[in-house]
C-alpha cells in the first residue's frame, strides 16, 4: 500500500505519433511533480512514454493500457490500482473522441457515430467515476477532475455531438459534486483550443506557425493555450488550495467566451 497520494489520469498518453504534447500527458506529469503516484491510463502505446517522462523527473508512475469506454477495462484499472496502491485520491478523466464522422449536424450524423462518441466522451467518465468512487471514499479528501471544453457552452457549426457530450460532462460533474461531498469534490475544466501534437495533422512547421497565428486571433490573449496551462489548473483543483471549490466548470480559454471579435 502506498503512503503517497494516488491519482488515475485517463487519456494520458503523449501525442500518438510523435510523443509530443497532450493534455492528458501534461496532467499526469504535473500531478507526479506534485507528489502523486500516477496511474497513466490510455489505449495508446504512448502512455508508456508518459511514464518514462515521469520517472525521468523522479516521479512514480504505472502505465495501464485499457479501453475506458468498456466496463471490463475500467474494472481492471480500479482493481489493479487497489491491489498495487490500496488507495485513490484523485481521478482525472480526460478521454475524448474525434473523428471526421463527428463533423455533422444532428440531422446528418450517423447514429452509430453519435452513439460511439457519447460512449467515449461521456460513458467513459461515468464508468470511471462509478467504479473509482468506492475506493476514493476511503480517502479523507478526494477529488474528481473532468476535462470538458468550452464546447459545452457554445457550438461549432456541424459538430453537434461534441458540444452535447461536453455539456453532459459538466452536468455529470454537478451531480458528482452534490452526491459525494464532502468526501469527494468534483470539478470540470473547460479549455478552448490547446496546442497538442494530435491536432497538427502533418502540417509543416511553417504551416503550423500560420495556423496557430490564425487561431490566436480569436483569443484576447493573442496566442494559443499550452498543455501545461491546463495541467496547472488540474494541479490546483487536486490540491487543498481549492478545498471549497466544488461542482464548478472552470473555463480556461484566455477570455474567448466573453470576447466579441466583431470589427466595427
Q: Is residue 177 part of a domain?
A: yes
User: pTM of the predicted model, to two decimals?
Assistant: 0.95
Single out the residue of 260, 235, 257 nearest to residue 90, CA to CA: 235
Q: Is residue 112 part of a domain?
A: yes
**What's the pLDDT at 21?**
87
**What's the pLDDT at 1?**
59
Please answer whether residues 151 and 193 qualify as being in contact, where contact means their C-beta atoms are separated by less than 8 angstroms: no
User: Can you give the residue range of the structural domain that contains 102?
Assistant: 6-252
pLDDT, one tens digit per residue, over 235-255 is: 999 999 999 999 999 999 999
pLDDT, one tens digit per residue, over 149-181 is: 999 999 989 999 999 999 999 999 999 999 999
**What's the pLDDT at 208?**
87
Say if residue 3's pLDDT is above 80: no
Q: Is residue 257 part of a domain?
A: no
Say if residue 264's pLDDT is above 80: no
Say if residue 199's pLDDT is above 80: no
Q: What percent of the chain has pLDDT over 70?
A: 98
Round to whole Å and give the CA distance between 176 and 185: 8
Q: Is residue 259 part of a domain?
A: no
User: Catalytic site residue 162?
Assistant: yes
**What's the pLDDT at 16?**
73
**182 grid coordinates:** 464532502
Q: Can you give the CATH number for the domain in which 105 is found?
A: 3.40.50.720
Say if residue 201's pLDDT is above 80: no
Please answer whether residues 22 and 196 qualify as being in contact, where contact means their C-beta atoms are separated by less than 8 angstroms: yes
Average pLDDT of every residue of the chain = 94
Say if residue 12's pLDDT is above 80: yes
pLDDT, one tens digit per residue, over 96-131 is: 998 889 999 999 999 999 999 999 999 999 999 999
Round to whole Å and give the CA distance between 162 and 68: 18
Say if residue 2's pLDDT is above 80: no
Say if residue 184's pLDDT is above 80: yes
**What's the pLDDT at 27?**
98
Residues β-bridged to residue 60: none
- Residue of 85, 98, 131, 162 with catalytic role: 162
**Angle made by CA atoms 98, 104, 109, in degrees to the nearest 5:** 95
Quick check: bond before 182 cis, omega within 30?
A: yes
Indicate the angle between helix axes 71-85 and 124-136, nearest 10 degrees.
Answer: 30
Q: Is residue 45 part of a domain?
A: yes
Three-state SS letters, the chain: CCCCCEEEEECCCCCCCCCCCCHHHHHHHHHHHCCCEEEEEECCCCHHHHHHHHHHCCCCEEEEECCCCCHHHHHHHHHHHHHHHCCCCEEEECCCCCCHHHCCCCCCCCHHHHHHHHHHHHHHHHHHHHHHHHHHCCCCCEEEEEECCHHHCCCCCCCHHHHHHHHHHHHHHHHHHHHHCCCEEEEEEEECCEECHHHCCCCCHHHHHHHHHHHHCCCCCCCCEEHHHHHHHHHHHCCHHHCCCCCCEEEECCCCCCCCCCCC
**164 grid coordinates:** 452535447
pLDDT, one tens digit per residue, over 38-91 is: 999 999 889 999 999 999 999 999 999 999 999 999 999 999 999 999 999 999
Report how many domains make up the chain.
1
Q: Is residue 34 part of a domain?
A: yes
Amino acid at each position: 500500500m502506498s503512503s503517497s497520494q494516488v491519482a488515475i489520469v485517463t487519456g494520458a498518453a503523449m501525442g500518438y505519433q510523435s510523443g509530443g504534447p497532450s493534455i492528458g500527458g501534461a496532467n499526469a506529469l504535473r500531478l507526479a511533480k506534485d507528489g502523486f503516484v500516477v496511474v497513466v491510463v490510455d489505449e495508446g502505446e504512448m502512455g508508456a512514454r508518459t511514464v518514462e517522462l515521469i520517472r525521468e523527473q523522479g516521479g512514480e508512475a504505472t502505465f495501464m493500457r485499457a479501453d475506458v469506454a468498456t466496463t471490463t477495462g475500467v474494472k481492471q484499472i480500479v482493481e489493479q490500482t487497489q491491489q498495487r496502491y490500496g488507495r485513490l485520491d484523485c481521478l482525472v478523466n480526460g478521454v475524448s473522441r474525434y473523428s471526421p464522422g463527428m463533423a455533422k449536424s444532428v440531422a446528418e450524423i450517423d447514429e452509430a457515430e453519435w452513439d460511439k462518441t457519447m460512449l467515449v466522451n461521456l460513458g467513459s467518465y461515468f464508468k470511471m467515476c462509478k467504479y473509482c468512487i468506492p475506493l476514493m471514499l476511503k480517502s479523507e479528501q478526494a477529488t474528481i477532475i473532468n476535462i470538458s471544453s468550452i464546447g459545452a457552452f457554445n457550438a461549432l457549426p456541424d459538430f453537434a455531438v461534441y458540444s452535447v457530450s461536453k455539456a453532459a460532462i459538466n452536468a455529470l460533474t454537478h451531480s458528482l459534486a452534490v452526491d459525494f461531498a464532502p468526501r469527494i469534490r468534483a470539478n470540470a475544466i473547460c479549455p478552448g483550443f490547446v496546442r497538442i501534437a494530435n491536432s497538427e495533422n502533418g502540417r509543416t512547421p511553417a504551416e503550423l506557425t500560420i495556423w496557430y497565428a490564425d487561431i490566436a486571433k480569436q483569443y484576447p490573449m493573442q496566442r494559443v493555450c499550452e498543455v501545461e496551462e491546463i495541467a496547472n489548473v488540474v494541479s490546483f483543483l487536486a490540491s487543498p488550495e481549492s478545498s471549497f471549490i466544488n461542482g464548478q466548470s472552470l473555463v480556461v480559454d484566455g477570455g474567448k467566451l466573453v470576447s466579441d471579435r466583431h470589427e466595427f
